[in-house]
Amino acid sequence: MNRRDQYYRFVSLIVLLTAFLIYSEPVAAQKPRADSLSRELAKVNADSNRVTLLWKLASATSVFNPDTALTIGFEALSLARKIDFMEGESRSNGILANTFFKIGNYSKALELNIEKLKIEEKRSNPLNLASVLMNIGIVYAFQEEYPKALEYYHKADSIIQLNNVEQLKYNIALNTGDIYDRLNQSDSAYRYFSLSLDLARQLEDGDLIGTSLTGLGHSYRKMGRFKESMEHYETAIGYLKAAGDDEVLCETTLGLARLFEDTKQYDSASHYAGLSLAVAKSGKFLSKELDAAEFLTEHYKKVRAIDSAFTYVDYVKGLNEELNSRDKIRESQVISSNEQYRQLELQEEKARENKKRAQQLQMLLIAIFIPGIFLLTLMLSRVNVPVKLIRVLGVLSLLFLFEYLTLLLHPTVAELTHHTPVLEILIFVALAAILIPMHHKLEHWLIHKLLHHRHKHAMAHQPEPEPVIPPVLADIKKSPADNNG
C-alpha cells in the first residue's frame, strides 16, 4: 500500500498511545469543554495549574481549530519552561506534536515528540516514555520510514514489558504487527497480530477484536493460508459492523476481495471490493475509496470487462484529482503552521531579549550607584554631618560592592559547574572565605580614612589656647601695690 492509504490504526491509535490527554470526541463535544477550560483559566495565576489548563485547552481546541491550539500550546510550553515545570513542558510538547500531526506536518510533529522524549528520559514515568516512543514510531510510519518506526516500537515495547504497562500492551502489539505487514514480513506480523487479538479478547472490546482479526486475515493471505484468512476476515466483519467501525470495515472487505482475487473467485472479489467502495464513499474515507476503486479497475481489466474497467479508470482519476487538491491544501497548511510556530518562537525570543536587556540595564544602574554612594559618603565626610551617618554609608557602599561582585560571578560559576548545586555552594563558600575578611579590613580602612579627614579638618579650625605664664614670670609681673602690701 502507498502513502495515501494512511491506515485507520494510526488515525485512531494516536489518541490511545499518549499518556497525556488527547481528546477523540466529536467537535460538538469539544467546544463546550474548551469553553469550560477557558473560564477556569481566567481564574488562575501563572503557575503549574495554569500550564495544565493551557495544555488541556490546546488539546480540546486542536480538534476544531488547530491554529488556535498551536498558540495556546506554545503559551503552555513557554510558561512551563519559565517556571521550570517539567511535567507541563513534556505534556505541552506532546500536545503541540499531536496538533502538527493532525495538520499533516509530520516533520514538526517528529521534532516536538523528540523534545518530549528528551524530557521523559530524565523522569521515571514508564507510561509517558513508552507512549512518546510509540508516537515517534507512528510519525515515522506515516513518512514510510518503516525500519525507523519499528526501531521505536521495539524500544517502547521493551519499556512496556519491563514495567508491565497494561494500558499500552494492545497498542504496541497491533502497531508492530502493522509495520511488519507493511514490510511483508508475514510471520512476524502474524505473531504480533495474534498477541494483539489475545489482549483484545481479555479487554472484551469488539472493535479491537475486529481490528486484530483483520490484521491476521492479511497475514494468513500473504502466507498463502487462504482458508484461515477467509475465516478471520469474515469473523472480523461481524465484530466491526457491531462496533460501527466503518473505516476498518473498508480495509477488511477489501482484504477479503484480494483473497478472492488470489483464489480466482472473481465474482466474490468484485462483490467485496464494491462493498468496500460503498462503505468508504458513505463514510467519506477518501483513501479507502481510492484503494477500492483502483482494485476494481485492475480487477475488471483482468476479467476483460473493459467497459467496467474504463468506468473505474475515470472514477479513479476523479478521486486522484481530489486527493491531489487535498495534498496541496495540506502542504499549504504545513507551510502556514511552520510560519505560525516560527512567529511564536520569535515572540518568545524577543521577550527573552527584552528581559535580558532589562537585567543588563539594572546591572549598569547598580554599577553606577555603587561609586555614586561612595562619592556621596566622601562628600558628606567633608561637611558637618553626624559621624554615625558617615559610618553607615561607608559600610553600605562596601556591602553593595561585594554583593555586586557575587551577582556578577554567579552566572559564570553556574555555567562552569553545569548548575550543580554542591559545586556552586563550595565555590561561593571559598569566595566568602576570601571576601569576608577583605570586607572587614576595607571597612575599617575606609571608615578610618573618612573620619581621619574629619579629625584633621576639625583640628585645623580649632582656636589657639591662651599662653600659660610660668610662675616666675607671674611674680615679676605683680603690681607695685601688691609688692608693698
Domain assignment of residue 350, yes or no: yes
- Are the beta carbons of 94 and 116 closer than 8 angstroms? yes
Q: What does DSSP assign to residue 186?
A: H
Helix (H, G, I), strand (E, B) or coil at 228: helix
- Residue whose C-alpha cell is 601695690: 481
Angstrom CA distances, 304 to 214, 266, 297, stand at: 30, 11, 10
pLDDT at residue 2 in the model: 41
Cβ–Cβ < 8 Å for 140, 103: no
pLDDT tens, 326-368? 778 778 888 888 898 889 888 888 888 888 888 888 878 878 8
Nearest to 452 by CA among 370, 378, 392, 372: 378
In a domain, 456, yes or no: yes
pTM of the shown model:
0.72
Site of grid cell 478471520: 232
- C-alpha 362/C-alpha 369 separation (Å) is 10
What gap in Å lies between CA 112 and CA 139, rounded to an integer? 11
Span 254-304, pLDDT tens digits: 999 999 999 999 999 999 999 999 999 999 899 899 999 999 999 999 988
Task: Identify the domain containing residue 451 by its residue range.
Answer: 344-460
What would the grid cell of residue 328 be?
A: 496541496
Q: What angle do CA 300, 255, 257 make, to 5 degrees?
A: 35
**Confidence at residue 447, expressed as pLDDT on a 0 to 100 scale:** 67
Tell me, yes or no, whether 278 lies in a domain. Answer: no
Q: Where do we find the cell 486522484?
A: 320
Considering the domain boundaries, does residue 451 fall inside one?
Answer: yes
Q: According to the model, what pLDDT value does residue 420 have?
A: 81
- Is 256 part of any domain? no
Residue 393 resides in a domain: yes
Helices 246-262 & 8-16 angle (0-180, nearest 10):
140
**What is the radius of gyration, based on Cα positions, of the chain?**
40
Q: Are the C-beta atoms of residues 139 and 152 closer than 8 Å to each other?
A: no
Could you give the 3-state DSSP secondary structure of residue 104?
A: coil
Number of domains in the chain: 1
Mark the ranges of the chain whose per-residue pLDDT is less than 50.
Answer: 1-24, 473-474, 476, 481-485
For 469, phi then psi, to 5°, come to -85, 130
What's the pLDDT score for residue 321? 87
How many residues belong to the chain? 485
Task: Let me know if residue 183 belongs to a domain.
Answer: no
**376 belongs to a structural domain:** yes
Task: Write down the pLDDT at residue 162.
Answer: 96
